[in-house]
Chains A and B, each alone.
Chain A
Amino acid sequence: MKRGVKRRALATVVTTGILLSAVAVMGSMLTSWSNSIFANEQHEISNAHDEGINKLNEFLVVEHVWFGTNPSKFINMTMTNVGNVGLNVTKITLDNSFNRTDLVLTDGGIERNDYLSKKIFYNWTSTDPIKISIITEKGSLYQTHVMGP
């Protein structure tokens, strides 16, 4: 009878240890997994937030456009950053429906309250309106129409 009592006690300890270990392992795995999920979500939300805020604060205006002919026809345009953050112009497109020019910029950074002038050779006419599209690094799109003199 005595021996029987001793075996039951050992089994109980072992069983308890196994159970606790199992619970601890599962709990740790679950905690680790959920933390990982939460961290990823936080990162994504943070990126989305920053991107949204930056886009919201970006504001670009085409301040002046003038047309030249020397040595060949060109358009000189000045853009001003009147938003609250700096921005980076990555592409300017000129399109009068039969003549399209894409200018990809690597030096299109404009500080807040600063401006950027670009001279683009383009065969403008006095009769066809030209759509000017400006795309920033954050994906904001600004458009305006101008007409040659």
Chain B
Amino acid sequence: MKQRRGLTTVVGAVFFLIAIITAASYLTYSMNLFESFSENVFAAGQERENREKESFDISRVIIENGILNLDVYNSGDIPISFSRIWIENVTGIDEVYKFDLNKTVPTGITSKNILQNIPFVVVDTQSYKMKLVTDRGLTKEFSLNASTDPLNLQLFALPEAVPTNFKATLLLAVTNNSTEDTIYTNIQPVLNVISLGANATLEGPPPVPFPVLEKGNTAIFEWNYRITGDDEEKVRFEAHVLNDDPQNIVAKEITVQIIQFAEESGSALQSKFLTSDTAPDDILFLHKETLDSLGERQMWSSSAENNIGEIIDFSSDDAIFYTQSEANVTVNIPSGNWNTVFRYISSPMPESLNHTGASKETMAYHFEKDLSSPLDTTTNTVMTLGAGANRPIWNPTIHQGAGAYEFLGNDYASIAINDNNDLDDSPSSTTGWFNAHSSGPASTQTIFYGASGIGGDTYQIFLNSSGNLVFSVNAGNAGQIATCTSAVNYKDDTWHHFVAIMPDDNACVLYVDGVLRSSQNQLGTSSIILTEIYVGANTNTGTNGFNGYIDDIIHWDNYALDQIGEQEVTDLYNTNYGASAHLLNFDIRIVDDLGNDLGLANKTITQSFNIPIKFASDFGEYTVPTSDIWGEFNFTSITNETRVIEDGQRLMLNMTFTPKLLGNLSLKMIIDDSDVVSGSGNSYLQIPFPDKSIPGYASYDNSGPGIISIFNPGPKDTWINYQSRVVFTDEITEIPYAAFITGSNSQSISPTQDSPPIFKETTTIFDFDKPRSQPGNTSSTLIPEGRYRMYVYLNGYDSTGQIFFQTNFVGVVRVT
């Protein structure tokens, strides 16, 4: 029995082992499968996570010479590899193209021109739908040159009614309201002008295309038009987006609305202290008068009195203005925007180069506007841009935030020759800025080229085939050609400043970016007399054309810049003719009657330092400053709570100039000049609309008759008759008082006698009676002391027998 039990145990044990091994094998296999599955799940999850981390934005899409330039920004968390782009021409249906890219963009980087090498020509007048695809399957669709889906367009005309010869602004708002996530790129607005009697002339450059418009975003395009015409004539503006749905057009009409009274009368009113023009309570004009304004200048709701005005030179004067103080008057100014608007011109030269006589610059082109004949602000010479395919392209902000011209190899500008740029005898200097495209050709690229038709004389500044800057003075003698070369490759898409000086005949000195790079003196006395000058090429067909931007070409025909003594080269190199030409400080606050700071935070509106001011035309430095040459700058500060001008307090505006150590350009501000009509007109401070008028400087003493002045701007002589009068309305109770205008210079006005003639462009002073509750009735109530709104009603006729009548709001006047 013992043997049987042992044998059975062995057999059982064998089977048991088999069972255990089998089970263990199965378990191990299962575990391996589970592990493999887990790894795959993890890997797949990682892949999905990576896909979610992928994100990119279309930064810019433009068309250059038919080549599509697309910039893409990797806004995700991992590198992106772009595998393909699909391009569908939706103008001609059924045309779809696919291009492989294989372009990887690291995280946080913008990759430029990723489509530059695809063999596809884009036409401006056709619309394309494009889709960019990554190797993880992420796609982004965008539309070039608008799309077949209508965009949401809104057109605004500001204002919709203007006097003739005034400007109106057209704003086109284009909103991407796509129900899909489509991005529209290179949005090009089109504005058609249809005359309905009136005419519109575009002023300033047309808006540039908007590069990328994402879903939900809005692009704003702005045009400024000067409107001319007769009363009630209209001009219609129809706007659409190039290649958009042709039915998707928005339109606005602007109506010419003559200021009837002024037109009928041909005269305007002007008082000794008061002005004729309506000035709303929130507009405080800056005046030249200093009476009662603490020795500084007045600021109050009264526009310019005449076209004389005053120019404040910031290099020697600060611009400080005070409103009037008045007892028992409290003015509450709600929270809101405080806009300082001032009109100014920039000095043409930094301090060291402010020369006169022969040392003064004789030619200066800053390219602030896009004109076929760009303005030489010295007024001495005339430049003409090449036409058609030879015309350089103006970019409004490319250089220091201001304009410059881009030359694309066959563009040029020619300058007519006269005594101011013909060189003649040494010395002379030519300076400017250039930015050469790195993609430019390996051949001569002309920046400035002067040549003589006789003897082959040349005076030229150019990049050679290596991109080095060369200044060459060739007076026709082979052995005496002076050549200065800066052996640096400037084809680097970066702005550089050159100063080319011809100190003597056959001599050259070349500075680049303020550093002396080369000089040469071949001796001899061979003068160069130029007969032609080109910028950007050396012929009028664009030969040896420049590829890049050129700006601020300035020439001294009889002066060599002095670097050793005056550091003039350094000064000019550091001069900013762009968005930060000047630095101004703005201090707006409520002060006490004597102009002392009250030391309270709630009396301060703003104290801002070194606000950059854009270079405005220096044209006025060379000619008589008249309307429309003045630059305009708006400085806005915001208050979040009410500001209170209490009993006896004043509002102060203090603008001071911060001189720069190098490249210091001063500026001059114009105030109180009725001829400055461009934009909103004169220099002023606009405040949030107060609950009552801020005390002004006009006053009338009710113990005697008052006087007013009437200015007749023409074109006809006029008379006024006995019905003309002044009217005062109490600012609070609105109780009215009035008085007749009684005469002028001992010549009374009566029912049988009109006024003496008011000749065109002259001013005549008139008397008016004491204002009473019943005009002419001396027993009626005399106007009491207080604050009144004053109006003047004029009735008369002109030298052609046409009658006129007008009512003018003068402003708030104190009666004492």
Residues B8-24 near A (CB distance < 8 A): 8, 11-12, 14-15, 18-19, 22
Which partner residue on chain A sits nearest B32 by CB separation? A49
**Within the complex, what minimum Cβ distance (angstroms) separates A40 from chain B?**
11
The answer to whether A45 and B33 touch (CB under 8 A), given A64-B86, A66-B96, is yes
Interface centre among A30, A52, A61, A69 (most CB of B within 10 A): A61
B139 contacts across to A, CB distance below 8 A: 61, 63-64
Is B802 on the interface with A (CB-CB < 8 A)?
no
- How distant is the Cα of A93 from the Cα of B184 in the complex, in angstroms? 31
Inter-chain contact A42/B26, CB cutoff 8 Å: yes
Contact of A80 among B26, B29, B40, B137 (CB under 8 A): B137
Inter-chain contact B84/A63, CB cutoff 8 Å: yes
A76 contacts across to B, CB distance below 8 A: 96
A30 contacts across to B, CB distance below 8 A: 15
- Dominant SS among interface residues on chain B: helix
Residues A48-71 near B (CB distance < 8 A): 49, 52-53, 56-57, 59, 61, 63-64, 66, 68-70
- How distant is the Cα of A125 from the Cα of B480 in the complex, in angstroms? 79
Is B135 on the interface with A (CB-CB < 8 A)?
yes
Residues B76-117 near A (CB distance < 8 A): 83-84, 86, 88, 90, 93-94, 96, 98
Is B308 on the interface with A (CB-CB < 8 A)?
no
**Within the complex, what minimum Cβ distance (angstroms) separates B30 from chain A?**
7
- How distant is the Cα of A83 from the Cα of B3 in the complex, in angstroms? 66
Contact of B41 among A16, A56, A69 (CB under 8 A): A56
- How distant is the Cα of A59 from the Cα of B40 in the complex, in angstroms? 13
Inter-chain contact B19/A20, CB cutoff 8 Å: no
Inter-chain contact B133/A63, CB cutoff 8 Å: yes
- How distant is the Cα of A12 from the Cα of B1 in the complex, in angstroms? 9
Is B47 on the interface with A (CB-CB < 8 A)?
yes
| Interface residue stretch chosen among A31-39, A99-107, A131-139 | A31-39
Say which size band chain A's interface belongs to: 35 or more
B30 contacts across to A, CB distance below 8 A: 45
**Within the complex, what minimum Cβ distance (angstroms) separates A29 from chain B?**
11
Inter-chain contact B15/A82, CB cutoff 8 Å: no
Inter-chain contact A34/B22, CB cutoff 8 Å: yes
Inter-chain contact A61/B137, CB cutoff 8 Å: yes
Which partner residue on chain B sits nearest A24 by CB separation? B11
- How distant is the Cα of A57 from the Cα of B68 in the complex, in angstroms? 37
**Within the complex, what minimum Cβ distance (angstroms) separates B26 from chain A?**
5
Contact of B133 among A59, A64, A84, A149 (CB under 8 A): A64
Is B814 on the interface with A (CB-CB < 8 A)?
no
Residues B124-168 near A (CB distance < 8 A): 131, 133, 135-137, 139, 148
B96 contacts across to A, CB distance below 8 A: 64, 66, 76
- How distant is the Cα of A59 from the Cα of B136 in the complex, in angstroms? 10
A78 contacts across to B, CB distance below 8 A: 98
A82 contacts across to B, CB distance below 8 A: 135-137
B19 contacts across to A, CB distance below 8 A: 31, 34
Is A19 on the interface with B (CB-CB < 8 A)?
yes
- How distant is the Cα of A51 from the Cα of B12 in the complex, in angstroms? 40
Is B7 on the interface with A (CB-CB < 8 A)?
yes
Interface centre among B3, B18, B135 (most CB of A within 10 A): B18
- How distant is the Cα of A64 from the Cα of B8 in the complex, in angstroms? 74
Inter-chain contact B93/A59, CB cutoff 8 Å: no
Is B515 on the interface with A (CB-CB < 8 A)?
no
The answer to whether A16 and B7 touch (CB under 8 A), given A68-B94, A69-B93, A82-B137, is yes
A68 contacts across to B, CB distance below 8 A: 93-94
Interface string of A104-119 (1 = CB under 8 A from B): 0000000001000000
Inter-chain contact B11/A64, CB cutoff 8 Å: no
The answer to whether A49 and B33 touch (CB under 8 A), given A19-B8, A20-B7, A20-B8, is yes
Contact of B135 among A23, A53, A113 (CB under 8 A): A113
Contact of A70 among B3, B41, B94 (CB under 8 A): B94
**Within the complex, what minimum Cβ distance (angstroms) separates A24 from chain B?**
6
- How distant is the Cα of A113 from the Cα of B11 in the complex, in angstroms? 59
Contact of A56 among B44, B84, B98, B136 (CB under 8 A): B44
Which partner residue on chain B sits nearest A48 by CB separation? B33
Contact of A53 among B18, B37, B137 (CB under 8 A): B37
Is B4 on the interface with A (CB-CB < 8 A)?
yes
Is A41 on the interface with B (CB-CB < 8 A)?
yes
**Within the complex, what minimum Cβ distance (angstroms) separates B144 from chain A?**
15
Interface centre among A19, A46, A64, A83 (most CB of B within 10 A): A64
A12 contacts across to B, CB distance below 8 A: 4
Contact of A64 among B131, B135, B148 (CB under 8 A): B131
Inter-chain contact A149/B43, CB cutoff 8 Å: no
B11 contacts across to A, CB distance below 8 A: 20, 23-24, 27
Inter-chain contact A49/B37, CB cutoff 8 Å: yes
- How distant is the Cα of A68 from the Cα of B36 in the complex, in angstroms? 46
Inter-chain contact A57/B148, CB cutoff 8 Å: no
Which partner residue on chain B sits nearest A64 by CB separation? B86
Inter-chain contact B8/A23, CB cutoff 8 Å: yes
The answer to whether A23 and B40 touch (CB under 8 A), given A82-B135, A84-B47, is no
Contact of B36 among A24, A49, A59 (CB under 8 A): A49
Inter-chain contact A35/B22, CB cutoff 8 Å: yes
A52 contacts across to B, CB distance below 8 A: 37, 40
The answer to whether A38 and B47 touch (CB under 8 A), given A19-B8, A68-B94, is no
A113 contacts across to B, CB distance below 8 A: 135
Inter-chain contact B43/A66, CB cutoff 8 Å: no
Contact of B40 among A57, A61, A149 (CB under 8 A): A57
- How distant is the Cα of A30 from the Cα of B15 in the complex, in angstroms? 9
B25 contacts across to A, CB distance below 8 A: 38
Inter-chain contact A53/B26, CB cutoff 8 Å: no
Inter-chain contact B137/A59, CB cutoff 8 Å: yes
**Within the complex, what minimum Cβ distance (angstroms) separates A71 from chain B?**
10
- How distant is the Cα of A23 from the Cα of B10 in the complex, in angstroms? 11
- How distant is the Cα of A41 from the Cα of B30 in the complex, in angstroms? 10
Inter-chain contact B33/A38, CB cutoff 8 Å: no
Contact of A31 among B15, B33, B84 (CB under 8 A): B15
A149 contacts across to B, CB distance below 8 A: 90, 93, 148
**Within the complex, what minimum Cβ distance (angstroms) separates A106 from chain B?**
25
A-B contact pairs, 19 of them (CB 8 A): A12-B4, A16-B7, A19-B4, A20-B8, A23-B8, A27-B11, A31-B19, A34-B22, A38-B26, A45-B29, A53-B36, A56-B40, A63-B139, A64-B96, A64-B133, A68-B94, A80-B137, A84-B44, A149-B148
15 A-B pairs besides A20-B7, A49-B37, A57-B43 with CB distance below 8 A are A16-B3, A20-B8, A34-B22, A42-B26, A45-B30, A56-B44, A61-B137, A64-B86, A64-B131, A66-B86, A68-B94, A69-B94, A70-B94, A80-B83, A82-B137
